[in-house]
Amino acid sequence: MENHVIEGYVKAMTEIMKGFNLPFVYFATKIGEDMKFEFFSPRQFYSSQKLDIVSVLGRMKEKCKEARNPLLENDEVRKRKSVLKTILRIPV
């Protein structure tokens, strides 16, 4: 897959995550014929440097430690569950 195609997906996902304030991490990588990975997302890992799988997993672990679900008040959790049930047509 061409790099510009991957970068388009990364841009779209970044906009969605920021727009909805989603508490998760999105990783986009490309594996080469040499079985090394090139990072496209998260942006701070982006470079043309290719990494082995051990380095990739280390960076993923590091980034996931930073990403935590936000603490929500009970009322907010109930509201979100109710909205999801309505959208998904789950009987209340």
Q: Is 5 helix (H, G, I), strand (E, B) or coil?
A: helix
Q: Is 20 among the domain residues?
A: yes
Q: Is 64 among the domain residues?
A: yes
Q: Is 76 among the domain residues?
A: yes
pLDDT for the residue 34:
92
- Bridge-based pairing of strands 37-41 and 28-31 is antiparallel
Q: What is the pLDDT of residues 35-90, one digit of tens each?
A: 988 888 877 666 667 888 898 888 888 888 876 666 666 777 678 778 878 888 88
- Domain of residue 29 covers 3-87
pLDDT for the residue 5:
92
Residue in 3, 2, 15, 1 with CA at minimum distance from that of residue 47: 3
Distance, in Å, from the CA atom of 4 to the CA atom of 13, rounded to the nearest integer, reads 14
Return the structure tokens found at 84.
Answer: 């999801």
Q: Is 92 among the domain residues?
A: no
Residues 6+ apart with CB under 8 A from 65: none
Stronger pLDDT, 24 or 47, i.e. the higher one: 24
Count of structural domains within the chain: 1
